[in-house]
Structure 1
Amino acid sequence: MPVTENRPLPDADAIAARFAQLFGVLAQNIEQVVRGKREKVELALVCLLAEGHLLVEDVPGVGKTTLARAIAASVDAKWTRVQFTPDLLPSDITGVSIFNQAQQTFDFHAGPIFANLVVADEINRGSPKTQSALLEVMEERRVTVEGVPHPVPRPFLVIATQNPVDMDGTYPLPEAQLDRFLMRISMGYPDHRAEVAVLAGAPTGAALDRMPPVASRDDVARMIEFAGRLHVAPPLYDYVVRVVAATRDHRDLRLGASPRASLALLRAGRVRAAAAGRAYLVPEDVKALAVPVIAHRLIVTPEAELRGRTGADVVAEVLAAVPTPQAAGV
């Protein structure tokens, strides 16, 4: 069945063009301090505009926290940073109710989670109990303290960084929490030219302090709204489900991707399409984002792990096996 490219939204092409322009301005601003990582920067922005959460995993010193801070600095919105340590308590993140003796009432004192962008630095150094404090807010965008729900502002994005789990003092993130991250990316080492540019340029901290915001909270809200309404042809819904469902029966996996992965892949694909100046989704949007969106949700069997297989390998195999819908006229 061919993929149609009708655009039901009025002025969709013009809005998509403005979306792509502002997306490029945001990426260029972030690249002032995150050099030579355009692909990673764009994936992080896709995550922001898809209203997801981002997990940045890599060894220390490759710019994980810098990327998170640069995104926060580029958007004129409230942001906070939480440094995860083994003694961090859930109430240190969510907040706590304190008895007001004068009023004879309990007053809620909000924690750092009540911001538009929350940088959770070295999240896997926190205890499992503290990590679980993020489960509700990452999914439902609210915090329940002593039975009372407290909504967080929108847009809301958690940008978490973590070191590899085999490093000292780290705890593995539970599967339920990994599933709540829309994407997991790895920064990787910079190439030679980018690392020379970092050494020759101004100190990163000073550059971050001087970064001007290039988009307002309202700009981001409008971009999120447009991406959420972007046209998707029926065959592409079917394609997304087939790709995700193929992981559930794969011989090398102990746990496949859930329906949350299907929703995440669709949301991210819409943002990527708009960032390219299109008002409609194409199969290439799905393929380009499948690994960062799906791979971290999969659990490889011990036998496959011994053979060196990873979740990314399985996703690549699935993409090669699932038939791709053809565009109209192709």
Structure 2
Amino acid sequence: MTKQILVLGSVNADHVLKVDAFPRPGETVTGSRYDVIPGGKGANQAVASARLGGNTHFLACVGQDAFGREIVDKFAEDGIDTSLVEQVEGLNTGVALIFVDGHAENCIGIAAEANAALTPERVLEKKAEIAGTDYLLMQLETPEASILEAAKIARSTGVTVVLNPAPARPLSDELLANVDMITPNQTEAELLTGVAVHNPESACQAALVLHDKGISTVVITMGRLGALISDQQGARIVPSFDVSANDTTAAGDTFNGALLVKLAEGIGIDGAARFANAAAGISVTRSGAQTSIPGRDETEQFLAERMPHCDAHSSENVQQIMIER
């Protein structure tokens, strides 16, 4: 049976405005399109995991507003087990205000709202469910104390802890020491390590800092440069796919959800990262967060078309990097 993935994280209503260029302080710009789209990094990763075939459970808090009620139903439609999603009385669902410019880059402001109600006490109430999963995937849009509590429960019971340290912010050594795998992008890796990540070699140096903090597997996503993987087998780059980007909002979330799906199926991390790169590549060609996340069949088809003579789960085309440890 496929191993279980428990995603702990945020749920947001994403208010997305497309603009030619981001406004400067005091400037008003006119947008070309406005949408309200289901988002939140935790929700995005749970949806990605479920759509791509993962046995997915979601631990989160939403408000008792209309959006909160509707989003839980949508999660269920995507195949997510929502039994651990709680509607909190007196609070609104989290909100994100997102500008997307003409280069498909985004600028985001968030308000936690019900996400802040996912307290350490609520996490402790779900101790049995956390201990009973196989992979725990978390991000940083819920209270850090709760993330640490969940990581400790998971580590003490043999559950693999995966942390996507986004949005970027400094983290305690105590939390990092309870993480098995970390998946930062270049900006997040630099903030956590002090190493400016701009090429594979500098990514390796950042990975070494994270290894020294007790993390056994480091995956640094580098956009068009691919994904840097550093573990006991060494360091290597899994190449990305060349696509025409439209909106990068959920690319990292799609990558993380996809990565966990393949790991839960017993695929090695190189092959899992290739599948994740494919899913993320599809997502950036579309607009929005959960609206951009692809399904399993189209991702497999994308891989088959881009790599017709290669086993998608093998280490073929992976670039090994020699680095002093």
TM-score by length of 2: 0.31
Larger Rg: 1
TM-score by length of 1: 0.31
More strand by share: 2
Give the structure, 1 or 2, with the largest relative contact order (CA under 8 Å, sep 6 or more): 1
More helix by share: 1
